[in-house]
A and B are shown apart, each in its own frame.
With several copies, the nearest count.
Chain A
């Protein structure tokens, strides 16, 4: 069982980072997949909050939309969307905000709005959703996204959601309550912000991936930490759980691509 996809590696690596018992505000798509895999493997007591209102959702299949009925049925309680954003996120109750994005820069600022000029975009993306305030208020932010030169771009056309701004203590000086992005997991590697400069730095490389591939897939000269390790391969149990989850999801919804909300 050493054969696995890069997506599977990414999802497993992201899931492993979620501490057991963490309260996790989950975006739809890759973050939701990773968070639910964590719940089914290493973090059985993780509390999943979706912006539509469910708190403590334990879905047996992955939600297709952010407000799937199963999220409500399996939740500890379902509150209104204003309450989710006011009492739970802004109230400081969220340990980890789990986000995806279309683009990220070297300080983990995120773009989900436009590629190109705002008024005449080359690509119009869905927009902000819950991300700006998740990025601001969650105690920590985890990011999961596939790596490419286009996605890892040091000159974002639009910053939708704040990362470490222009680095260093900028975020703290701006008065943002949360600590910001603490890890970025891609299909190639795991990055963390440098403790001083806050520049994203590769700390772990997935098996079979070279430094050159990572450099090639990054829109700026990506730095590597002093002690880069190899990401442990997905374990049999992790892969089986993830594949069973995907199979249940496909059976329930029909196969389709995921997208963030």
Chain B
């Protein structure tokens, strides 16, 4: 049953060193506040899973929280590289990161398999691609009826999935809408689920077939307004494209990155603190 608590309590109680962690959100509703809190609490040895690592994992990787990453597209969307991810993979800073690369279709199917209690997924994919040569978890089977060759991938079964949603009610039922990505599947594939939300409301005013996570599949609901920033929350605020651009310069350089993490995350109390300091540094930059 969903516990309505602070993000600090949720991360401290539910995410442990060594956990397999999925933080999902496909451009939309990326749970950045939760990512910050994991850095703030100095979690270590996390096995990260995410289709598009984005800034959220660039930060976690650069801050030394992760030992491995399963992903399918590792760029800063519309900008370029994820420099902290590349530095970890290529130069082992702050330490070596083991990567396992898949395609989007594979990852989406792997989450579906996880949510469905299956150990693997079958997809029509990878034929002619070199990815199976560098990732031996991608295999092929023959259809028992037609003999066709199809790809398989192991299910994603995170210890914990973290997502951001627009609303929860006071019991902890969660509602999201707009671009849904793989969040429902990621949540249902996991043993535990943390959801940060824009708003806690008396009653979810949801259409019949809306995307809802009932309270009994959610471990903790945390009220964190603007918790997806610099990503966006449909109906609440837009994507901070300027910050995605600015991140390129911050992350390109180890010192700049370390200073940014120190000032914005380690030296702030919580996401509200982050937003305050972030506003200050934005002002400094434009001054």
Q: In the complex they form, do A and B come into direct contact, defined as C-beta atoms under 8 angstroms apart? A: yes
CB within 8 Å for A77 and B206 given contacts A28-B78, A72-B179, A72-B234: yes
Residues of A within 8 A of B (CB): 21, 23, 28-29, 47, 51-56, 64-69, 71-72, 76-82, 84-87, 89-93, 109, 113, 118, 120-121, 124, 126-133, 135-137, 158-163, 165, 171, 174-177, 253-254, 256-261
Chain B residues packing against A (C-beta within 8 Å) = 1, 26-28, 51-52, 71-81, 86, 89-90, 101-105, 108-109, 111-112, 115-118, 123-131, 134, 148-149, 173, 178-182, 184-185, 188, 206, 208-212, 214, 216-217, 232, 234, 238-239, 241-242, 244-245
Cross-chain contact of A51 among B104, B126, B184, B214 (Cβ < 8 A): B104
A-chain residues with CB within 8 Å of residue B232 when the two chains form the complex = 69
Beta-carbon contact of A82 and B128 below 8 Å: no
Select which of B76, B125, B184, B241 is within 8 A of A259 by beta carbon.
Answer: B76
Task: Among B86, B118, B216, B232, find the residue whose CB has the most chain A CB atoms closer than 10 A.
Answer: B216
Cβ of A261 and Cβ of B126 under 8 Å apart?
A: no
Give the distance to chain B from A170, nearest Cβ to Cβ, in Å.
8
Note all chain A residues with C-beta closer than 8 A to B212.
76-77
Nearest chain A residue, comparing its CB with the CB of B110: A82
Q: A128-B72, A129-B104 are in contact. Are A91 and B77 (CB under 8 A)?
A: no
Nearest CB of chain B from residue A120's CB, rounded to whole Å: 8
In the bound complex, residues from chain B placing their C-beta under 8 Å from that of A135 are 128
CA gap between A23 and B216 in the complex, in Å? 9
Query: A259 and B179 in contact (CB under 8 A), knowing A52-B27, A68-B239?
Result: no
A81 touching B108 by the CB < 8 A rule?
yes
17 A-B pairs within 8 Å (CB atoms) are namely A52-B181, A53-B180, A78-B208, A79-B180, A86-B115, A86-B116, A87-B184, A91-B188, A129-B103, A130-B73, A132-B103, A132-B129, A136-B127, A159-B129, A161-B128, A162-B129, A259-B80
Q: Is the CB of A92 within 8 A of B117?
A: yes
The reply to whether A159 and B180 form a contact with Cβ atoms under 8 Å apart is no
> Do A254 and B242 touch across chains, with their CB atoms under 8 A apart?
yes
When the two chains form their complex, are residues B77 and A65 in contact, meaning their CB atoms are under 8 A apart? yes
Known A-B contacts A47-B216, A65-B77, A161-B129; the reply to A78 vs B178 at CB < 8 A is yes
Q: Give the docked Cα–Cα distance between A221 and B211 (Å).
A: 51
A109 to chain B: which residues have CB within 8 Å? 128
Neighbour of A66 across the interface among B26, B123, B130, CB < 8 A: B26
CB distance from A141 to the nearest CB of B (A): 12
Cβ contact of B104, chosen from A56, A133, A163, A253, cutoff 8 A? A133
Q: How far is the CB of A87 from chain B (nearest CB, A)?
A: 5
Residues on B with C-beta less than 8 A from A133 are 103-105, 123-125
Q: How far is the CB of A69 from chain B (nearest CB, A)?
A: 5
Please name all residues of chain B whose beta carbon is closer than 8 Å to the beta carbon of A92 when the two chains form the complex: 117
Task: Please state if B27 and A160 are interface contacts (CB–CB under 8 Å).
Answer: no
Question: A76: which B residues are within 8 A, CB to CB?
Answer: 173, 212, 214
| Bound Cα distance from A52 to B89, whole angstroms | 27
- Residues of B within 8 Å of A261, CB to CB, are 52, 73, 75, 77
B79, A69: Cβ atoms closer than 8 Å: no
A127 with B101: CB separation less than 8 A: yes
From B130, B181, B210, B245, A113 is in contact (CB under 8 Å) with B130
With A86-B109, A133-B104, A159-B129 in contact, is A124–B90 under 8 Å at CB?
Answer: yes
Partner of A65 from the list B101, B128, B239 (CB cut-off 8 Å) is B239
